[in-house]
Each structure stands twice: as C-alpha cells, then as structure tokens.
A and B are shown apart, each in its own frame.
Chain A
Amino acid sequence: MYDLKALYQAGTVAEAVALRLAHPEAHIIAGGSDVLVQMREGKRAGVELISIQGLDELRGVSMEADGTLRIGSLTSFSHITRDPLIRKHLNVLGEAVDQVGGPQIRNIGTIGGNTCNGVTSADSASTLFAYDAIVELTGPDGVRRQPIGEFYIKAGKVDLREGEIQTAILIPKDSYERTFGHYIKYAMRNAMDIATLGTSVNVRLSADKKTVERARVAFGVAGPVPLRAETAEQAAAGQPVSLQLAETFAQAVKADINPRDSWRAAKDFRMHIAVESAKRAFLESVKLAGGVL
C-alpha cells in the first residue's frame, strides 16, 4: 500500500494538462519505477499523483514527414529496443535503454520518465544528448519544443512548466542520418544497476570512410546533468580516421566533463573511465560506420 494522498488518472493528454493545472502540487506518474520507489522510501510519501499511465496515444515510435523520429514519451524501454524504426535509424538508443535495470523494469520504465526525473545516470539521456534530441512538451498553451540540453536545469530538475507534460522525444533527421553510434554503460554489475558512467558516441564518416565528418559524445554521471563534450567533438571533426584520433578524441573529453566524488565512485576514477570509454565507443562507432582502422 502506497502512502499517496490522492490519485488522479488522465485518459487523454488534454485531461492530463487539466489535472496538472487543477493540482499543481501533484506529481506525475508514468511507469512508476522511480516515483513509486521514492514513495516507498518515504521521500514522496503523502503526495498526490497524476497518473498518465493510461495515455496510450503517447506510446510508440513513428517517423514524421520531414524524417524526424518521434518517440512517444510513454514508450517503454523494451518497446524502443524492439522497434523497427529505432533499429534501423537509431540502434544505439535501443541498445542503451536495453541496459536499464532488468527486463521487468524495461517493460514498465518509459523514456519520458527517464528524462523527466532529471537524473544524470539515466541510460537514455546521454544518447539523446548525443543526438541533439528535442523534447516535446504539451501544456495549456499548446505544444512547445525544447532542445534536450536546455530541458535539464539541474540535478533532478527539468524545465517542465505549469500544466505541462512531456509528450514526445524527437530526433531530427540530420542528427541520425548516416551516423553510427555506440553506448557504453559502466556499472558495477552486468544487470540491475545504475550507471557509474554512461558514454554515448556517434560518428558520421565521409563517403570514402576515411574521414570523420562529425563526431558527437555525451556522458551521464560526468556532471550533475548529462552533458556533451564539445572539445572532443571539435578535435575529431574533419580528421582522418585513425587509432591516434581515437586517443586524441578521448583525451579531449577531460576538458568538458566534471564528475564528482561520491560514495559511488571517486572523481578521478570516473575521469579515467570516461576517457577509456570515449575511446572504445569512438572506435566501435567508426567500425559500425564502415571505417577501417
């Protein structure tokens, strides 16, 4: 039995928005794998909940006319991993969310919840950052779109405004087209764990596969919110594919990341793993893109 004060269940997005306005103190619950756990811990005990679990319109992956990939916010991790569009265009995201918790969590956990809780360790977040994802928010004034980097305000806090719910994550065509990516979850065990560090890299190579046209890298747990390492990206852009480039790229991430010391891991350890992971994820991405090393 959960210590919740009241439960409001939305049947449509419009109802969810109305409930948000009517009960501004209420917390949104999607899959529940974060919210219910925190209620059990006593952190959110006694709160009111707005359940958006029933909004089936927010489930599923589709492609918009301009080639943008649209992932409904309530799409579960296991759905994303299996989805044919994701497998074809953004396989790295499917692989990343296939490393969240265990199978049961991946069946209930949603990409919207994973991003709205604002935690830096979210397995989807670094890949979404690395693909310049756009967050779609629906509120009383209609739909608002915001780059994911601006959606995160600080640890545990995202830019979800009065009356709003997150309705989709969008990946623009230019982000994923001709790119290949790899995600490395660094954790203390191989399942049922949260990332000590998450590294997502993707590259776009020239037609002859000899030059890196563009490289992107984003991290989870390398700062209070997920972040991009642009110094490394710039260091790789336009450079010939080589082992040395992987090394240069990896070393350059140190300029932008700022992990903290905590009981979970020391700062210098996370820095070390970030460099090694960036190198390996870069090499793997280049290989996936057809590059020869």
Chain B
Amino acid sequence: MSKSVGKSVTRVDAYEKVTGRAKYMDDLCDRSALLVKICHSTIAHGFVKSIDTTAAEAIPGVVRVLTCFDVPDIPFPTAGHPWSTDPDHQDVADRLLLNRHVRYYGDEVAVVIAENEVAAAQGVRALKVEYEELPFVLDVQKAMEPDAPQIHEEYPGNILKHTDIRKGDYEKARQEPGLIRIEGWYDTPTVQHCHIENHGCYAYMEAGRIVVVSSTQIPHIVRRVVGQALGIPWGKVRLVKPYIGGGFGNKQDALYEPLCAWCSTMVGGRLVKLECSREETFVSNRVRHAIRTHIISYVRPDGTLVARKFEAFSNQGAYASHGHGVVAKGMGAFPQLYPCENVECDCWSVFTNRPAAGAMRGYGIPQAMWAGECHIDDICNRLGMEPVEFRRKNLMPVGYQDAFSKNELYSDTFCQCMEKGMEVLGYPEKYRAYRNQTGPVRRGVGVAVFWYNTAVWPISLESSSCRMVVNQDGSLQFQTGETEIGQGCDTAYSQMVADAVGIPLEDVHVISTQDTDVTPFGTGAYASRQTYIGGFSIMQTAKALRERILNIAHDQTRMPVSNLDLVDGRIVRKSDGRVLKSLGELATEALYSMENSRHITAETTAQIKSNAYSFGCSFAEVEVDIPMCKVTLLNLVNVHDCGTLINPALAEAQVHGGMSMGIGYGLSEQLLFDEKTGRPLNNNLLDYKLSTIMDHPRLEARFVENPEPTSPYGTKALGEPPACSPAPAIRNAILHATGVAVDSCPITPHVLYEKFKAAGLLED
C-alpha cells in the first residue's frame, strides 16, 4: 500500500493560492455590500457622555449611525475556547458591541454604515463624541496598586485572576548553607500577530437567520459567540470561514463578527461588510500579553537547583478575552521544564488600559521561555557553567510525568535536539572561539530550549468531528471543523485520510471551507492541536467508512469481510491478493442499485482525553557592533521533536515562519503607547518593526522524530513551538558575545545603547 503520510506532498491549496484564485473574505463579498466603519475612542479610559450624529447622518451615502447608546445590554465573552456547560469554567463575559465605558484608546464607541468607504470614513470623522475622562493605567504592576484606576467594577485591584503552584518547601530549602542566589526580572512587550490579511467579515440575513462570513480560525466558536452577543438562539446563526490570510491566534477570538452581524440586523438584514484597517488590527483586535516575570533560583555550586520562586504579572489589557489561561500556561511550564523539589509560583492577570490581550502563537510560552531561559543563562554565567551542560543536567529527565496533564517525556528529546542544534551551528567550537573577545565588534552563540504541550485537555474539551462522503468514482470528500489558516492542515489531513481509508491521495478532496450549517463540529485552529486532535477523528471515521465499504463489498462479491481489504482504491481479496473491483465500481453500483441503494458516508466524533509534550530548542549566532548598538543575527537553528512528521516540507516551512516571529520578538517588535494619553504610537507596518527578508539569516529547521505514542499518527504540536525559543537564544548569544545580560525584549539598539553605556562599553 502506498503511504502518503511522511511524504512532502504538494499543498492541496497551492494552485489556488499561487494563481490568486483562492477566495478570501473580501473576494467573496458581493459588491453591493454596505460598509461598516468603527469610531474608536480617543481616550484611554472614561465614559462616553454623548455622541452627536447629526453631521454624520447628513453625509450623502451614510445609511445609518449606531452608537454605544443603541446596543443591547448583553455582555458576552470573546475567547476562542470551547464553551463549558459549567458556569465556573465559562469565559468572562465583559464585552458589549459598542461601549459607553471605554477602557483603552481605540475602544469601539459607534459605527457608521454607508454605501461606500469614503462616506463611511467621513461619517466617522464627523461624529462628535463627548467623553468624561478617567485616569488610566498602562503598566501591569501600577494597575495593581491600591489607588490605581478601576477598569472593571467586578474586579477589585484590576486583578482578573491569580493562581499559584506550591511544591516542597521553598522557604526552608533556600536556607541550605552554601547556596548561590540568582534573581532576575524579565520583561516581554506587547506585540501583534500581523497576519497579512487583516480581520474582516460580512453579514446578511437570510430566511430569518443571520449569515456571517469571516476571516476567523474558529467558525463554530464564533457562531456561538454571535448568538450569545445578539441574544438569539445559536441555530439562528450560520458562520462561514473561507481561506484566511493568516491568524496566529488573533483570529482565535470573536473579533468584529458580533458587531457586523448586529449591524446587518439594524439595516433590515442587508449585506454589510466590516474590514479592519491595518491600524485598527494593531490596536482594536488582540495583542500578545506583555508579561513581567520575576525569578529567584537558589543553586548549589555544582549547578543543582534547590529552591525556585516564580512570579508573573500578565498585562491583560482592557478586556478579559483569553484571560488568565495564557500566563497560567506559562507558569505551568516553569516547575516542569527544570524540575526542582521546592518551588513557589504565582501569576496574576491584570486589567490595564491597553488593547485587549488574547491568544498569540505560543499562548504564554514565548513569554515564559523568555524569562526562564534568560534566567538559566544568568545562572550559568554566575556559576561559570556551559549553558548546554547545565541544561543537560537540569532539564526534565526521560520518563518525567506531569501529575495534572499525565503528559510524559517518552524519549531523550531535549538532548537529541540540542545535539543536532549544536552540530548544525558548530556550537562547541564557536562557544570556545568567542570567549574573551575585546574589540568593538564581537560574536556570540546562545541556546534556549522550550516546553510546549499540544492541545487543551484536560483544562478544556478536546473533540473533533469528521465526515467522509464517497463519490461514484471512488474518490471522497472529507470535512472537519478544524480550519486551514495557512499552516497546511488541509494537506496533512488529506494525507492521513488517504492512508487511513486506503485510497490514493489524488482521490481525497478536502472541503476547505467551514460552514457551520454543514461542517461537523470542531473548535478550530489553536493550541497547535489540529494535526494531533484531527488525527483521532480522521482515523476513527476512516475506520467506520472502511467498515461500510467492506460490508458493501461483501454484498457485491459474496466474499467474507474478513477476507476483504481496501488498498489504493481497490477492493482486494486478501487470500490471493486479487483485485475484485475498484472502489469507484463499488460506489457506483451501491448508489444506483435498484435493490439496495446506498450513499456511502461516515461521520464520527472523537473525544480526546490525552495531550502530548512537544519540545525542542534554538541555537543562535550573533555579531554585535557595540559602538553602533546593533545586533546582526548570523545564524539561527531550530530543532523540534513533534513526533512523526506528516509532511516534512510543510513542517519545515512552518518552523521557518515561527523562527521569523521569534526573531522579531527578540530584536525588534513592540507596540508602543504614549504615556500621557495611552494612544498607540506605532500601529502600522512601517513603525512596528516586523522583520523583513533583509533582517533574517538563512533559517535552519531540523527535526528529531520520536513518534508520539498517544497519537494514531505519532504526531504532536508544531504550529506554535517554533516561535517559543528563538528570542532567548538570541539574547543568550548577545550575553556570550558581550557579557551584557539584557532582560527585556525586544533587544533594540535603544536598549543596547543604555546597557552598553552602563557596562562601560561605549566611549563617549
């Protein structure tokens, strides 16, 4: 039987995308659509006292103006989490469609619906909004102070949530004589996803229901949220997800779908389209949580970790969105990655008057790895230990099992990945060669590892459904609720389907679009879950389909099912290997049978109650021009163990993308805010320094393949992991090159100037 899994087959959507024919949201929207433009608040915190809409309404082409005084008083949650029927585990419902109480500079206060974009924009500019301004706070720890402005009444001290982990006795253990204390504060910035297609959606009413077509990662979840926000039964909402131009977690939230749907209902169900500009995408969608982390480690001179303390302060921004789950995931990694007998961990998610923070590639792990892996090198620096050696000694050992998730490290993943990374970079030689440099331009190498776990069980539901329908020619369509967002799951799934059913890959047709009216339930693209989770429902549905096919084959050939097989699209008699008929002949006969007509389909739901660790590392080599305060990244190598590779070429490509995001996180990306007004300063692609092709070295992606035992395909997370370790690896390389430890990212020239000046490395 020819195997498709494990081969670098061409993307199933490659032709459509490389010809420009793949239809994204705006390509599908009829040109008759009315356009919705949002009026965003120009203060960081306060109340809208009044909005004068007269001038806006007088503009030719303006159809309707709706304000925060018009919206239903139904708070709704937006996070792209599976719903929980347990009220204690439901997401925080703190959003309204438009807001009288504005909580960040860019909050939504009104919309103008117009016949064209110029009229809509003129309408927004013509609105006269009167505010009652309140003090605001941007810094996470200042927001926790007693006299800080209160952002949500229900959350005193602005604390959305606090959780902790206690293991052993930290206070007692740290009293051991001879311990070395290493302490650090590590900061990460507010950054944005920067998918090239901005979020947008359109909505219209049909047969008394509302239809929304959206650039989203999570159609079934957004359908539910639209129902909740509008206070209508969920069955009245149909959500369609076409091709999307990237998501990275931003579109793992209900963004403007509820508002757009509501706007349609307010203009008699007419077609309305809401497209975010790039500037809006930066500020009024979601951002990654800026997290400040405090770590104290007590270490024996031989490098043994004796007691450790971890505190993380997560800047939630104005609304709960994904909320505490992000920093909690990062904290969860801390005691696992470098097991230590005595650990105290606390983390807080704190409201501030910044844009709402949600999910972004890595979900708390890039922040946690920044803090944790910078700190490990600070320990190494202090002890004079080589960083790979320290990690070998202290990282999670083979056989480690986490009590909560039941995840287990089955293989010597970390050492294997580090070995490979060192070899590709030439790390040992360079580590020695770059010691004790003087001169203005110096080089260094650095390493960082990462911890990640696949999917969301046992914190949340993990379930996936799949449907397969066989055609008369023996080919089949399949669909799942899991979404293609650029990462390549449609291709990986097609490969899995081909092998599991027993048909050639070219006979597998994926239905890429999710339409909640017809697509089986699935929660969508997040948590690097889809290849792992989808594998279960594909395997299970393929099994059910094969059973039906072989039963029909039995009816048609009189051979016992036990002696039949489906191989490469042919019904084969196992005993002598003879091909009895093709699947096409079988399906045609079955469908058009005058005695027993049958449409061959299968549909199942798989609930998954397992989860899998997915680990790896980054190795970086830098050149630091000290007088110019500039870092050139010379080499970056990522090594991953994501189990068995389904499609090596696509896996490699996905790692490149994550590394690129990691480079930006480490060196250049940061959304800035004016301290005096809370206004975003650089919410555009010119001033926000996303890496260009000239800011990258050649990216090296490598793999170690230890098949994951819990997965039917031996696979586990790869989507997010590549973005988790490059930034600290780069930071550690700069430390190696210059002896200067930078504790906040991005490590821009501005930061290096101050650091180098303080270290006496600059002359003037």
Q: List residues of chain A with CB under 8 Å of any chain B CB.
A: 1-3, 41-42, 45-46, 102, 186, 188-194, 196, 251, 263-266, 269, 272-273, 275-276
Distance to closest chain B CB from A65 (angstroms)? 41
Q: Are A188 and B749 in contact (CB under 8 A)?
A: yes
Q: Is B343 an interface residue (CB 8 A)?
A: no
Q: Are A42 and B121 in contact (CB under 8 A)?
A: yes
Within 8 Å CB of B117, what residues of A?
Answer: 1
A-B contact pairs, 5 of them (CB 8 A): A1-B116, A188-B668, A196-B749, A266-B750, A272-B762
Within 8 Å CB of A263, what residues of B?
Answer: 672, 674, 681-682
Assuming the A-B contacts A272-B762, A273-B629, are A3 and B693 also in contact, with contact meaning beta carbons closer than 8 angstroms in the complex?
A: no
Distance to closest chain A CB from B689 (angstroms)? 5
A-B interface contact total, Cβ < 8 Å: 63
Distance to closest chain A CB from B353 (angstroms)? 18
The 9 closest A-B pairs by CB, nearest first: A190-B694, A191-B692, A191-B694, A276-B627, A3-B118, A269-B753, A188-B689, A263-B681, A189-B695
Partner of A193, one of B627, B674, B686: B686
A148 to B764, CA, bound (A): 32
Q: Are A188 and B748 in contact (CB under 8 A)?
A: yes
Q: Which of B681-701 contact A (CB under 8 A)?
A: 681-682, 685-687, 689, 691-695
Q: Is B165 an interface residue (CB 8 A)?
A: no
Q: Which of B435-455 contact A (CB under 8 A)?
A: none
Within 8 Å CB of B125, what residues of A?
Answer: 42, 45
Within 8 Å CB of A46, what residues of B?
Answer: 122
Q: Which residue of B lies closest to A2 (CB)?
A: B118
Q: Are A189 and B628 in contact (CB under 8 A)?
A: no
Within 8 Å CB of A2, what residues of B?
Answer: 118
A3 to B119, CA, bound (A): 8
A266 to B681, CA, bound (A): 15
Distance to closest chain B CB from A103 (angstroms)? 11
Q: Are A189 and B753 in contact (CB under 8 A)?
A: no
The secondary-structure label for the interface of chain B is loop
Q: Which residue of B lies closest to A279 (CB)?
A: B627
20 other contacts beyond A186-B628, A190-B695, with CB at 8 A cut-off?
A: A1-B118, A2-B118, A3-B122, A42-B125, A188-B748, A188-B749, A189-B689, A189-B691, A189-B694, A189-B695, A191-B695, A251-B764, A263-B682, A265-B750, A269-B753, A272-B629, A272-B762, A273-B628, A276-B627, A276-B628
Q: Are B749 and A269 in contact (CB under 8 A)?
A: yes
Encode B102-125 as 1/0 by CB contact (under 8 A) with A: 000000000000001110011001
Q: Which residue of A lies closest to B756 (CB)?
A: A272
A2 to B682, CA, bound (A): 22
A251 to B750, CA, bound (A): 21
Q: Are A193 and B689 in contact (CB under 8 A)?
A: yes
Assuming the A-B contacts A263-B674, A272-B764, A275-B764, are A190 and B692 also in contact, with contact meaning beta carbons closer than 8 angstroms in the complex?
A: yes
A272 to B754, CA, bound (A): 11
Q: Are A3 and B750 in contact (CB under 8 A)?
A: no
A269 to B687, CA, bound (A): 18
Q: Which residue of B lies closest to A4 (CB)?
A: B118
A32 to B629, CA, bound (A): 34
Q: Are A189 and B116 in contact (CB under 8 A)?
A: no
Q: Are A189 and B764 in contact (CB under 8 A)?
A: no
Within 8 Å CB of A193, what residues of B?
Answer: 686, 689
A2 to B693, CA, bound (A): 30
A251 to B763, CA, bound (A): 11
Distance to closest chain B CB from A184 (angstroms)? 9
Within 8 Å CB of B672, what residues of A?
Answer: 263
Within 8 Å CB of B692, what residues of A?
Answer: 102, 189-192
Within 8 Å CB of A269, what residues of B?
Answer: 629, 749-750, 753
Within 8 Å CB of A1, what residues of B?
Answer: 116-118
Q: Which residue of A lies closest to B752 (CB)?
A: A269
A275 to B674, CA, bound (A): 29
Distance to closest chain B CB from A221 (angstroms)? 14
A149 to B148, CA, bound (A): 50
Q: Which residue of A lies closest to B684 (CB)?
A: A41
Within 8 Å CB of B668, what residues of A?
Answer: 188-189
A196 to B686, CA, bound (A): 13
Distance to closest chain B CB from A141 (angstroms)? 38
A189 to B279, CA, bound (A): 20
Within 8 Å CB of A273, what residues of B?
Answer: 628-629, 749
Q: Which of B658-694 contact A (CB under 8 A)?
A: 668, 672, 674, 681-682, 685-687, 689, 691-694
Distance to closest chain B CB from A275 (angstroms)? 6
Within 8 Å CB of A186, what residues of B?
Answer: 628
Within 8 Å CB of B749, what residues of A?
Answer: 188, 196, 269, 273
Distance to closest chain A CB from B58 (angstroms)? 15
Distance to closest chain A CB from B433 (angstroms)? 26
Within 8 Å CB of A251, what residues of B?
Answer: 764
Q: Which residue of A lies closest to B748 (CB)?
A: A188
Q: Are A272 and B695 in contact (CB under 8 A)?
A: no
Within 8 Å CB of B686, what residues of A?
Answer: 192-194
Distance to closest chain A CB from B220 (angstroms)? 35
Within 8 Å CB of B762, what residues of A?
Answer: 272
A265 to B674, CA, bound (A): 14
Q: Which residue of A lies closest to B690 (CB)?
A: A189
Distance to closest chain B CB from A114 (angstroms)? 15
Within 8 Å CB of B764, what residues of A?
Answer: 251, 272, 275
Within 8 Å CB of A188, what residues of B?
Answer: 668, 689, 748-749
A264 to B118, CA, bound (A): 31
Distance to closest chain B CB from A269 (angstroms)? 5
Distance to closest chain A CB from B15 (angstroms)? 26
Distance to closest chain A CB from B227 (angstroms)? 34
A191 to B689, CA, bound (A): 10
A220 to B753, CA, bound (A): 20
Distance to closest chain A CB from B124 (angstroms)? 9
Within 8 Å CB of B279, what residues of A?
Answer: 41
A2 to B117, CA, bound (A): 9
A45 to B118, CA, bound (A): 9
A251 to B764, CA, bound (A): 9
Within 8 Å CB of A190, what residues of B?
Answer: 692, 694-695
A264 to B628, CA, bound (A): 16
Q: Are B750 and A45 in contact (CB under 8 A)?
A: no
Q: Which residue of A lies closest to B694 (CB)?
A: A190
Q: Which residue of A lies closest to B693 (CB)?
A: A191
Q: Which residue of B lies closest to A101 (CB)?
A: B686
A265 to B121, CA, bound (A): 32
Q: Which residue of A lies closest to B125 (CB)?
A: A42
Within 8 Å CB of B122, what residues of A?
Answer: 3, 45-46
Distance to closest chain B CB from A62 (angstroms)? 33
Within 8 Å CB of B695, what residues of A?
Answer: 189-191
A186 to B748, CA, bound (A): 13
Encode B689-717 as 1/0 by CB contact (under 8 A) with A: 10111110000000000000000000000
Encode B619-631 as 1/0 by CB contact (under 8 A) with A: 0000000011100
Q: Which of B125-152 contact A (CB under 8 A)?
A: 125
Q: Which residue of B lies closest to A275 (CB)?
A: B764
Within 8 Å CB of B685, what residues of A?
Answer: 192
A193 to B749, CA, bound (A): 15
Q: Which residue of A lies closest to B122 (CB)?
A: A3
Which of A2, A41, A192 gathers most chain B CB within 10 Å?
Answer: A192
A194 to B682, CA, bound (A): 13
Q: Are B689 and A272 in contact (CB under 8 A)?
A: no
Distance to closest chain A CB from B675 (angstroms)? 9
Distance to closest chain A CB from B761 (angstroms)? 12
Partner of A3, one of B121, B687, B748: B121
Distance to closest chain A CB from B755 (angstroms)? 12
Within 8 Å CB of B753, what residues of A?
Answer: 266, 269, 272
Within 8 Å CB of B748, what residues of A?
Answer: 188
A100 to B764, CA, bound (A): 30
A187 to B172, CA, bound (A): 51
Q: Which residue of B lies closest to A271 (CB)?
A: B764
Distance to closest chain A CB from B40 (angstroms)? 12
A186 to B625, CA, bound (A): 13
A188 to B695, CA, bound (A): 10
A275 to B762, CA, bound (A): 12
